[in-house]
Chain A
């Protein structure tokens, strides 16, 4: 063990253990690492690889649907494709990329901690996640193929009567592994934020991203145990003869249904969506946090309505746990007014966030770098997904469009808006911190343009198809309904999205082959992670600035900056006001502008 000690030294020096790791090297170093930065990057690489795999599966789906009676793949393969596309994107990319990848890397830096609270548990999370991912993909090589009951695995379709086979079992076990992985990461995030903050980093000085990850951590602890338990019961139904969800084999000899011998298929839906809807916000809140870091930096202003943002996040998370049955309106077994009201209420805190994001940009000096463009893309994409979400929260509309392409378009707009626009905004934004080199801004903008145009071309036709009645999860459709042209348009859009991610690969290659050094703070960032070196040293900080507001690095670099804080509270005794200079501040001008030019931080 390395004791991380802060020695008693004056003038804001804050020395974590300086010594480098003396562990093994090479592959063994990666296998035995407990450093949150290495684990975070491993998480990101794994999840992005899986994102590309799931993207290819989506292209297969789109190619199949370009003609009414597509023969590109068989119907069974089609079922496997949309199941694995959804499962990989939801369980293995969008969540782990945020809370295992970026949050793992950034949260300890943002609160001034030397590592996550439980480094070995953190490493275990990654190995369970990797094992789960491999296990899910193994489905493609076993007899019968991968799971094909949809990413929601509705009972009784998911019971062994209707979908036997090893692929389905692998899917269940993979989710048990990744579920534990997520729970461990949630515990780690909450403990790190509660116990390892730097002196002066009060809760209401934490960056919004860290706040969102705290709330996400709690949501993980609420949601994932329910999924894991539900999956264990599903597995027991499939193999151990229990009848928790099963509805077959419960007839008496006279043909009547013995209700005591029968399971409840709707119970699966209740359990699944009690996980599934908070899961949507587990996937959304981290990305809300990322863009909330990006807007202020590239508007050259503090975030508008800091506390409003924090309370909006909490409200969204709280409400999101009380809306699960809005996915089950058409089962006829749920209390429509309760779930409709709770779902509609989520629009209020989300609206507050939108106004605050716009308020942050309002009259700012906007700098249109790739992260900023991606964040603006997020704003528009998520707005469209959110508005159609409000429509779907209304039972009469939901009855009409349930299980059609309208729902598919809605949740793809929500999830691409957050996990893709927000997530890759975060990647472009923090990549210089992680690797000490820039991503090319021109290629980044090309990535953005292709993605943004492709996004609308793909999903607007799907809304129309949904309103025209095209059901989801079908591999063919009648040719006389006029659906083909919209499907072709949607397929063209999906290939534009694919092209945009090819540009990202080129950009990563360029950055690896022709590095442009980033320096410690290429964006003139506000929060603590921009104070340390890029990439940060072992245990993160050699020294820390005095923390007097929610943007300590900005205060340190701009001690004479005018107070442009929104609202009241300047110099408020609880420390939310601007930093006025004075105690322990360093020389001005350590920020190096937004140009991305390299500049070494003076040795400390």
Chain B
């Protein structure tokens, strides 16, 4: 997690510096706002990963808060890890699901409605709602194998 967090914090730091120097040289609002956005894009997830890096490595504090539960370094972050150390559930992966297709078709119809007429939006919105309910139900009952 350390390299992941350093990577994102580096993104935030670099664009923070660029945003400040851009503002004080160009005085241009649009570009500065976008650069501030990129700075946040680096810092927000970067700090999240930094928090987990502190936890994994047994640090007791993360800024002012305690990180009392120490998890231990992930095997993918250790250069001497063996494959067996990754044993256990990796994740749950859906075998197949029709809902992405339904949701995609709904989005297609919804945007097409803005060009060809709002009647298409009825179809699009129905498909999107059906897909959202469907995918939630699928996840709750454990999905398709």
Interface status of A99 (Cβ within 8 A of chain B) = no
Interface status of B72 (Cβ within 8 A of chain A) = no
Q: Judge whether B108 and A6 touch: CB under 8 Å.
A: no
Interface status of B15 (Cβ within 8 A of chain A) = yes
Complex Cα–Cα for A218 and B35 (A): 14
Q: Judge whether A198 and B86 touch: CB under 8 Å.
A: yes
Kindly identify which residue among B18, B78, B81 contacts A322, using a CB–CB cutoff of 8 Å.
Answer: B18
Residues of A within 8 A of B10 (CB): 314
Kindly identify which residue among A12, A31, A547 contacts B84, using a CB–CB cutoff of 8 Å.
Answer: A12
Report the interface size for chain A: residues with CB under 8 A from the other chain: 90
Most buried by B among A34, A114, A204: A34
Query: Shortest Cβ distance from B144 into chain A, in angstroms?
Result: 6
Complex Cα–Cα for A321 and B10 (A): 14
Per-residue interface assignment for chain B, residues 9 to 48, with 1 indicating a CB less than 8 Å from any chain A CB and 0 otherwise: 0110011001001100110101100110010010000000
Complex Cα–Cα for A324 and B30 (A): 12
Most buried by A among B14, B30, B90: B90
Complex Cα–Cα for A16 and B116 (A): 47
Kindly identify which residue among B21, B26, B115, B139 contacts A166, using a CB–CB cutoff of 8 Å.
Answer: B115
Kindly identify which residue among B77, B88, B97 contacts A5, using a CB–CB cutoff of 8 Å.
Answer: B88
Interface status of A119 (Cβ within 8 A of chain B) = yes
Interface status of B122 (Cβ within 8 A of chain A) = no
Kindly identify which residue among B3, B35, B78, B98 contacts A32, using a CB–CB cutoff of 8 Å.
Answer: B98
Q: Judge whether B103 and A1 touch: CB under 8 Å.
A: no
Kindly identify which residue among B11, B104, B107 contacts A318, using a CB–CB cutoff of 8 Å.
Answer: B11
| A interface list, Cβ under 8 A from B | 1-10, 12-14, 16, 21-24, 28-29, 31-34, 113-115, 117, 119-121, 123-124, 126-128, 130-131, 134-135, 166, 169-170, 173, 176-177, 180, 194, 196-205, 214, 218, 221-222, 226, 235, 239, 267, 270-271, 274, 314, 318, 321-322, 324-325, 334-335, 338, 539, 543-548, 573-575, 583-584
Residues of A within 8 A of B86 (CB): 6, 14, 198-199
| B interface list, Cβ under 8 A from A | 3-4, 7-8, 10-11, 14-15, 18, 21-22, 25-26, 28, 30-31, 34-35, 38, 41, 49, 75-101, 103-105, 107-108, 111-112, 114-116, 135, 139, 142-145
Query: Shortest Cβ distance from A572 into chain B, in angstroms?
Result: 9
Q: Judge whether B26 and A338 touch: CB under 8 Å.
A: yes
> Which A-chain residue is minimally distant from B131 (CB atoms)?
A124
Q: Judge whether A6 and B97 touch: CB under 8 Å.
A: no
Residues of B within 8 A of A113 (CB): 90
Q: Judge whether B95 and A21 touch: CB under 8 Å.
A: yes
Query: Shortest Cβ distance from B28 into chain A, in angstroms?
Result: 7
Q: Judge whether A2 and B104 touch: CB under 8 Å.
A: no
Q: Judge whether B84 and A10 touch: CB under 8 Å.
A: yes
Q: Judge whether B104 and A131 touch: CB under 8 Å.
A: yes
Q: Judge whether B83 and A198 touch: CB under 8 Å.
A: yes
Q: Judge whether A270 and B31 touch: CB under 8 Å.
A: yes
The 18 listed contacts between A and B (C-beta, < 8 Å) are A1-B139, A2-B145, A10-B84, A12-B82, A12-B83, A34-B93, A34-B94, A119-B94, A124-B103, A128-B108, A169-B114, A176-B111, A198-B86, A199-B84, A199-B85, A202-B76, A314-B10, A338-B22
Q: Judge whether B79 and A202 touch: CB under 8 Å.
A: yes
Using A7-B87, A120-B97, A120-B99 as known contacts, say yes or no to A135 and B111 having CB atoms under 8 A apart: yes
Q: Judge whether B87 and A8 touch: CB under 8 Å.
A: yes
Q: Judge whether B76 and A2 touch: CB under 8 Å.
A: no
Kindly identify which residue among A22, A24, A120, A130 contacts B135, using a CB–CB cutoff of 8 Å.
Answer: A120
Query: Shortest Cβ distance from B11 into chain A, in angstroms?
Result: 6
> Which B-chain residue is minimally distant from A5 (CB atoms)?
B89
Using A22-B145, A221-B41 as known contacts, say yes or no to A34 and B83 having CB atoms under 8 A apart: no
Kindly identify which residue among A199, A335, A546 contacts B28, using a CB–CB cutoff of 8 Å.
Answer: A335
